[in-house]
Amino acid sequence: MRHRPILVLSIFLSLQLMAAPAVPQLVDKMPAPNQGTANEIYAQVLTTGPEALAEVCAMIVPPGTGDDSKARFLLSGLAFHVSRPGGETDRVVLEKALLTAWKGAKDREVRAFFLRQLRWCGGDESARALRDELNEPALCEAAAFTVLNIGGDAARDSVTAALATASPETAATLLRAAGQLHCEQATEAILAYVANSQDLAIRRMAIGALGEIGAPQAESVLLEQLTTGDRYQQSLVLASCLRYTQRQLELERPAVAARVARKLLSKTAGLMAEPASQAAALHTLVEAVGDKAIGDLLTAIHSDQPQIVAAAADLLVAAPTTRLLQEAQTGSPSERAALLSAIGKQHNATALPGLSEALKDTDESVRHAAISAISMLNSLPAAQALLQHIASNQADTAAVAEGLKTMSSDEIGAAISAELTATRPQRSAAMLEVLARLRAPQSPAALLPLAQSPDKALHKAACAALARIGTDKQLPALIDILANSPKSTARRAAADAAVQIAQRIESEAAFAPFAQAYASASTETKAKILKVLPNLGSSKALGLIQQATATGEAPVRDAGVRALAKWPHAPAIAPLLKIAANADVETHRILAVRGAVELIGRQTKMPDTERIGLYQQALMAAPRADEKKLVLAGLGGRQSRRALHAAGAFLGDPALKSEAALAVAKIAAGGKAAPAWLDKESRELIAKAIEILPEGAWRTKATALIAQFPASANLAKGKPVTTSIGHERGNAPERAVDGNRDIKAGGWWGAGSPSWWQVDLGTVQTIDLVRCYFYYDGRRYYQYTVSVSEDGKAWTQVADMSKTTTPTTAAGAPHGFRPRSARYVRVQVIRNSANPSVHLLELEVYAPGAGPEKVAESATLDAKPDSEGFVSLFNGKDLTGWVGDTTGYGVENGTISCIKGKGKRLSTAGQYDNFILRFEFKLTPGANNGLAIRAPLTGNPARNGYELQILDNTHQKYAKLKPYQYHGSIYSLVPAKRGHLKPVGEWNQQEVIARGDRITVTLNGTVIVDADVAEHKRSERGHIGFLGHGDQIYARNIRIKELHNIPPRGFTPLFNGQDLSGWKGLVANPIKRAAMTPDQLAAEQKKADERMRQHWQVVDGALVFDGKGDSLCTAKDYADVELHVDWKIKTKGDSGIYLRGSPQIQIWDPERWPVGSGGLYNNKKNPRKPLVCADLPVGQWNRFRIRMVGEKVTVHLNDQLVTDNVTLENYWNRKQPIFPTGQIELQNHGNTLWFRNVYVREL
């Protein structure tokens, strides 16, 4: 294609033009999902011209008479779009169209809508055109908004003109607009309103406008108005006067501004009791005349209003310091204090002598203000002045300390420490606190002499400060103190400081000074340094410690072992265990074991096998019972067979047996579920531990565990086995009879299926139970049969699991049968749903009565729908198909009953979204249960899904129910109609229909709930279940019919369940289609559509393809999408989903193609196979969830991820990436197909 660019381009262009869709189609694309798409649509509308705009404008209707939101989206989007820089041409076109539409519109709200769009894109033409609308009472406001947003001379002219003919309804709006636009020409008209209008609201507006405009002739009128009206009126007038002064500044008339501000301040009457306004006037005054306002401010500072004093002081910060100092010598203490704090805010060093003078004042508040002001100078002399001050006036110590804390110059730390070393200790107390709170940056070196002081308080405070602000430079000195100071408090404080500094800097750099000091230190000093090292965490420090543990010097070696035992990280475990095993000093052995055990316990990511190995080493090395007890306690938290046996070994030790027994119980019964590795030996250990354990929770738990798995004779264990096929890696067939069913310990990994495995019991015996344990992951299932034989030739099948699709579990599957004589037991594996291999973890065979449990008659759900299309959720015999609290519910006489005091939550294994559920239930007095729908298996179903109440609300204990708690209500959301429950003890019939956002509940023939839950964003799919509270209820005849072709929120159905609308037939391929002329394409399409109707049909809400003809294609093209499709095929079936007209997401029979469906099978460079085979057996419905963004495709099949963000290659032209858009196709591959629930969401 590359060698014909011009031709291709012209074809492309002509297609573009031809394809420019009609206006309604463009409107229909609203709201555009992103700006790019929006811009394309705008371009199309604008290219089509004014008629297109008129067509869109014509779609706007009065609110409440139809849904015109798509047109509104488009017009407002356009209004913003054309207002972009460089969009002037478009802007003019749209402005004209909107003005025309506005003129033509009759309805007030429609007119207002056009005016609102002109707010964003209107210009002078609109400002002029709206002049008359400004006098229309109904639309004056909307027009004024637009004119105000447009601004400029045209807007001013229109408003001024409109004001001349304003009515009482429009006057306020126009006055406001005149003010905001600064329409100076309107001043006279506004003044007339002030003089003549009787309407208070209008007068207020006029006064406000005068302040905004600031014309000279308004000044006297405004000031006159100050004395009229109520308090609110006065504060508005005052605000307008203040605005007037402000406006004078904007108009560069500072003298007028000052004059009016001073007039406002000079009014001494009631009005000036408003400190806020006075503050504002002062503010303007300072703005107007700068430091010429100082006199006014100094007058204000003598106000009896503290707020004025504070405001004036803030403004005085700008005044000359000398003047303020002078003023601060007289006046009341509070005035002087305010002035001093203003001086402080000037940060002027020359103020220091004057401020120091104020420190001598007799009034405390003045002194404290001076202290605070001096602190703000933040200099060495300032600090010295304060320190000197407390030498003579100890009463101010606290205030000085507060002040010093706020200082942060480098020299201040030095000043404080100099002062401290020279002053009496009692005065230092406050200083020490200051010291301890110093903030960086400081000069930490200055504190070192203090750290060496013999005075305890001093060296502690200095070290505390150093810990916060010290650097690596102080480390050598601190190390020296911690090693050599005669005072133990100093050593400790220095060690703490050194450690904190070290932790702040890079760990190896921190270690260097320690290493240096260590190298030249005496034996005694080395020991002291070693003690600190564990806090450093540097790997080199660990090396030094290990080295110390091996030296000949006893004190150093001792300190080394102690340090190693305190090391915080895992690398110390091995050397500690080595010391524990080999040390000749008893203390060292104890220290090492304890250190190691603690470290092992602290590792969160260590694998259990490694951990238990280490614990066992510690046990061997532990010298005394105390240490062994520590290890046993550590083992108690680990659920593994190896841990159990390690602990169990001490059950016979009189000194340790109680700890060992507790550990055994915790290991065995501490997990959430019964351990899979429980075998005979383990069981014996547990039984022994139970004998030792005192009465209590652990004894009870362990006893319950044993009772759950009583001792029984597994006849297959250790017996010879044979197989039809080889095994993978070391997973030999014998592993399936080794008594270990741990998933990781393996079993027989058979190299393929179908294949068989059999065990020889040695002699012919009577058996009645075989239990199979297959690999489990919550999803996969195995299809198999079990047969027995006396001679290995004639086989009798005793269990048939060849049709099962129930996932395997850790509990395995028991297969009970009538007692039979047998020597051989064979498992014939037909299929593993996940991959071709077989993974038999264990197979157990039991004689009658020796089996670990009584096995219920095996039963599967009868999945055949009845004449109305309902299938049963309950087989009447057992809880097959149900999960959760299966022990809390009983089954008798075809009824499920919630067991009193037990039954909690019982859920269907399957998930349902849209359905009709019918069931019968019977209540007992006061019984409370609930019906969960669309709920996850865990969490609160009344919050995540929906809970429909099942409740005997007639019982007296429910006298005060909330409306949404009565029977049938959707809990917390929708109350049900009451009074339709049958009396307690009688059967009720209930039907629940969940269809999209609509949930209806019909009780005994009456609809009691009919709710739209659209606004509650809950789960749209989930389990159905009974939510028991241990109250007895009964349920039976539980049947469900799933409803199809109802899209989840945000999705659009591609298939309506009725006919083929929205679909078309297939014409050639995308490249060939692009090359056709529009006429050719139309003709071909017509033929293809006819062909489509012959072979694709809708039967029972599903699209059915007869295996002839072509693929089915969506009428529309799609780019980035999320797509849901349910599909069903026959044996050897083959199909696929084409995205953007290209192959494909594969669908095929997993029996024939075991990789399974959902891969991008036409890829060459990128992955083509699915991650797992997640297909359900042929004949069942499968569900795809597909997401395609850009060229990447992600596919979930039956909720399993099968394709993870893989590039879909362009099959039609391998050199190109996949097309950006195209039709979705359901592929023909020559066989019968079914599709339903086809939904799309464009991204």
Which of 354, 403, 595, 968 lies at the binding interface for other proteins (CB under 8 A)? 403
- Closest distance to other proteins from the beta carbon of 713 (Å): 53
Among 20, 92, 109, 1198, binds other proteins (CB under 8 A): 109
Q: Are 1170 and 1157 in contact, with CB atoms under 8 Å apart?
A: yes
Binding residue for other proteins (CB under 8 A) from 103, 439, 602, 1108? 439
List residues bridging with 918 in a β-sheet. Answer: 991, 1039
CB of 377 to other proteins, least distance (A): 12
Closest separation in Å from C-beta 1018 to other proteins: 13
Binding status of residue 1122 toward other proteins by CB under 8 A: no
Continuous segment of H or E residues that includes residue 511? helix 507-519
Q: Does 144 bind other proteins (CB under 8 A)?
A: yes
Nearer of residues 128 and 504 to other proteins, judged by Cβ: 504
| Chain residues 233-252 in contact with other proteins, contact rule CB under 8 A | 235-236, 238-239, 242, 249-250, 252
Looking at residues 1146 to 1175 of the shown chain, list those that interact with other proteins (rule: CB under 8 A): none
Q: Specify the residue, 358 or 561, whose C-beta has the smaller distance to other proteins.
A: 358
Q: Give whichever of 290 and 848 is closer to other proteins, judged by the CB atom.
A: 290
> What six digits make up the tokens of 907?
């859920």
Shortest Å distance, C-beta 59 to other proteins: 12
Helix (H) or strand (E) holding 685: helix 680-692
Binding mask 946-975 for other proteins (x = CB under 8 A): ------------------------------
d(CA 422, CA 440): 24
Minimum CB–partner distance for residue 145 and other proteins (Å):
5
| Part of the chain binding other proteins (CB under 8 A), chosen from 197-205, 543-551, 570-578, 912-920 | 197-205
Encode burial over 95-115: b for 16+ CB neighbours within 10 A, e otherwise. Answer: bebbbebbeebeeebbbbbbb
Site string for other proteins, 382-401 (x = CB under 8 A): -----------------x--
Exposed / middle / buried, residue 884 (Cβ in 10 Å: 0-12, 13-18, 19+): buried
Residue 41 structure tokens: 């649509």
1039 near other proteins, rule: CB under 8 A: no
DSSP 635: H
Evaluate whether 183 touches 191 at the Cβ level (below 8 Å). Answer: no
Structure tokens at 382: 């300032």
**Looking at beta carbons only, is 106 or 854 nearer to other proteins?**
106
User: From the list 20, 191, 271, 318, which residue makes contact with other proteins (rule: CB under 8 A)?
Assistant: 318
* 160: helix, strand or coil: helix
> Closest CB to other proteins among 375 and 1210?
375
Q: Does 309 bind other proteins (CB under 8 A)?
A: yes
Residues 1148, 1135: contact at Cβ < 8 Å?
A: yes
- Site residues for other proteins, window 447-466 (CB under 8 A)? none
Please report how close the Cβ of residue 1241 comes to other proteins at its closest, in angstroms. 13
Among 57, 467, 521, 1043, binds other proteins (CB under 8 A): 467
> Residues 329-368: x/- map of binding to other proteins (CB under 8 A)?
---xxx--xx--x--xxxx---------------xxxx-x
Distance from the Cα of residue 405 to its chain's centroid? 42
Binding to other proteins, residues 17-46 (CB under 8 A):
30-35, 38-39
The yes or no reply on residue 120 touching other proteins (CB under 8 A) is yes
269 touches other proteins (CB under 8 A): no
Give whole-number Cα distances, 958 to 76, 964, 967, 969, 977, in Å. 54, 12, 11, 14, 16
Please work out, in degrees rounded to the nearest 5, the angle formed at the alpha carbon of residue 533 by the alpha carbons of 529 and 534. Answer: 145
Q: Which is nearer to other proteins, 29 or 831 (CB)?
A: 29
**Residue 73 to residue 42: CA distance in whole angstroms:** 11
Query: Cβ 290 to other proteins, closest distance in Å?
Result: 5
- Residue whose token pair is 């006036």: 393
Out of 92, 93, 148, 847, name the contact with other proteins by CB under 8 A.
148
Helix boundaries (H) for 603-624: 608-621
Among 131, 156, 247, 283, binds other proteins (CB under 8 A): 283
Each as own residue / partner, the long-range contacts of residues 1203-1206 (CB below 8 Å, 24 or more positions apart, any chain) are 1203/1145, 1203/1158, 1203/1159, 1203/1160, 1203/1167, 1203/1170, 1203/1171, 1204/1171, 1206/1160, 1206/1163, 1206/1166, 1206/1167
* Closest separation in Å from C-beta 1222 to other proteins: 22
User: How many residues make contact with other proteins (CB under 8 A)?
Assistant: 117
Is the CB of 290 or the CB of 718 nearer to other proteins?
290
**CB of residue 574 to other proteins, shortest distance in Å:** 22
Stretch that binds other proteins, among 145-153, 654-662, 679-687, 938-946 (CB under 8 A): 145-153
Given candidates 45, 81, 189, 397, which one binds other proteins under the rule CB under 8 A?
81
Applying CB under 8 A, among 49, 216, 290, 353 the residue interacting with other proteins is 290
Question: What are the beta bridge partners of residue 1099?
Answer: 1102
- The piece of 78-86, 642-650, 709-717, 740-748 that touches other proteins (CB under 8 A) is 78-86
Name the nearest CA neighbour of 977 among 1011, 929, 1026.
Answer: 1011
CB contact at 8 A, 985 and 922 = yes
> Shortest distance, CB of residue 1160 to other proteins, whole angstroms?
23
Give me 1188's structure tokens. 């395609």
Q: Which residue lies nearer to other proteins by CB, 363 or 1010?
A: 363
Q: How far is the CB of 72 from other proteins (least distance, A)?
A: 6
Query: Which residue among 23, 57, 175, 651 contacts other proteins (CB under 8 A)?
Result: 175
Minimum Å gap between C-beta 223 and other proteins is 17
* 800-829 residues near other proteins, rule: CB under 8 A: none
Count Cβ neighbours within 10 Å for each residue of 1090-1109 and write b for 16 or more, e otherwise.
eebeebbebeeebbbbeeeb
DSSP 1161: T
> Which of the 8 DSSP states describes residue 789?
E
Question: Max CA-CA distance within the chain?
Answer: 125
Decide: helix, strand or coil at residue 933: strand
Q: 920: helix, coil or strand?
A: strand
Tell me the closest approach of the beta carbon of residue 1194 to other proteins, in angstroms.
Answer: 14
Residues numbered 533-552 forming contacts with other proteins, rule: CB under 8 A:
537
Shortest distance in whole angstroms from residue 335 CB to other proteins = 8
Residue 815: phi and psi, rounded to 5, are -125, 105
CA 216, CA 203: separation in Å to the nearest integer?
A: 19
Tally the C-alpha atoms within 13 A of residue 1011's C-alpha that lie toward its C-beta.
24
292: nearest Cα among 256, 257, 252, 258: 258
Within 989-1018, the residues that bind other proteins by CB under 8 A are 1017
Q: Is position 832 an interface residue for other proteins (rule: CB under 8 A)?
A: no
Whether residue 1027 contacts residue 929, with contact meaning beta carbons closer than 8 Å, is answered with yes
Q: Which is nearer to other proteins, 250 or 777 (CB)?
A: 250
- Of 130, 213, 311, 478, the one binding other proteins by CB under 8 A: 311
For the CB of residue 844, give the shortest distance to other proteins in the complex, in Å.
45
Instruction: State whether residue 473 is helix, strand or coil.
Output: helix
Q: Could you tell me the smallest distance in angstroms from the CB atom of residue 324 to other proteins? A: 13
Which listed residue (51, 230, 584, 695) binds other proteins by CB under 8 A? Answer: 230
| Interface positions, 490-509, toward other proteins (CB under 8 A) | 500-501, 503-504
